Amino acid sequence: MRTGGVTDVPDPVVLVPGAGCSGDAFHVDLVDALAARRHVVVVDPRDTGRSTTTTGDTPEYALPDLADDLTAVLRAVLRPGERAHVVGVSTGGSLGQVVALDHPDLVASLTLVSATPGVPGLEAPDLPGPTAALSAASGLPDPDWADDDAVVDWMVEVERPYRPTVFDEDDVRATARATVDRSTDPSAAAHHYAAAPGPPWRHRLGDLRVPVTIVHGDDDPFFPLAHAHALAAEIPGARLVVLPGSGHGVPVRRHWPAFVALVAGEA
C-alpha cells in the first residue's frame, strides 16, 4: 500500500487493481494527477507488490478474503468520519462491489473500471465472454522469473491483446517495470487466478446505496461492453461512462484528464 497527495481534503481515493496486478498498474503520472487533487491510497493486494506472498500452486485464500483485506485497508487509512472513494479495476471492481455492499459505512462512492457483475468462476450466461481474438492470444509461456528484463517484456506482451485499439507501449512498459522493481515475488501474482470466487453477489447489486460510476472501454475484449450495461441496469442510479478506443484495464493516457476529473468529483 502507498499513500500520498492532498491530506486536507477528506475522504481519500483508494485505487484497487485487477487480478494479477499490484498497485503499480496505475501509472505514476496518473496517480500524481489524482494526488494533486485528493489524498490517494494505492493498494497492493496480497501476492503483489510489497504485500505478503504465498507459495504453492493453489492459494489458501478466496475472493472474499481479498475483499476482507480491502476492508482492513479502509479501516486503517480512514480518519474518524471519513469514507473512501473506491476505484476498482476489473477484479478490483468486484472487490469494491463486495465491500460497498457489506460495509457501506466505509464507502463514499464506487468507480467500477472494466468491471463485471460477476467474476471468473461465476460467469453469467447472459453476458458475453472474452473475444475469440483475446482467447487466441492468451497462453504465453512464463518467463524466467529471475530475469527482470524478461519479466517486463512478458508483462508487456501479456497486456497487448487486452488493448486491441490503443496500446500505449511506453506506458505499459513503465507500469511493468515499476511492478517488477517493487514486487517481492512477481510470479506470486498468478495465485489470484486460482483463487476461488466465493458466493455470488450479483443478486444484491440493487441494494447498493452509494453513488456508482461505471467506466468501460468500448473495445474491452475481456469484459465486453455488455458487462458495463448490465452493471448500469442493475445498480440503482449508476452512471455509465464509455471510453472510445479503450480496452480492458486502467484507461489509456488520452483519457486520463477526464478520468481524473471524474474520480476527483469534478465531472
pLDDT digits (tens, 9 = 90+) for 47-93: 999 998 888 778 889 999 999 999 999 999 999 999 999 999 999 99
Higher pLDDT, 267 or 212: 212
Architecture of domain 2-263: 3-Layer(aba) Sandwich (3.40)
Residue 185 cell numbers, joined: 515475488
Angle at 217 between CA 219 and CA 214, to 5 degrees: 145
The DSSP bridge partners found for residue 214 are 112, 240
Please give the Cα distance from 182 to 23 (Å, whole number): 10
| Three-class DSSP labels, 92-129 | HHHHHHHHHHHCHHHEEEEEEECCCCCCCCCCCCCCCC
Q: How far is CA 166 from CA 27, 47, 171, 203, 255, in A?
A: 16, 29, 11, 34, 11
Question: What are residue 61's phi and psi, to 5 degrees?
Answer: -145, 160
Condensed to tens digits (0 to 9), the pLDDT of residues 210-235 reads 999 999 999 999 999 999 999 999 99
Q: Confidence band (pLDDT; 50, 70, 90) for 151?
A: very high
The counts of H helices and E strands in the chain are 9, 7
pLDDT(136) > 90 = no
pLDDT(34) > 70 = yes
Q: Confidence band (pLDDT; 50, 70, 90) for 1?
A: low
pLDDT(120) > 70 = no
Please give the Cα distance from 31 to 23 (Å, whole number): 10
Q: b vs e for 127-164, b when ≥16 Cβ sit within 10 Å of the residue's Cβ? A: beebbeebeebeeeeebeeeeeeebbebbbebbebbbb
> pLDDT at position 53, please?
86
Type of residue numbered 110: L
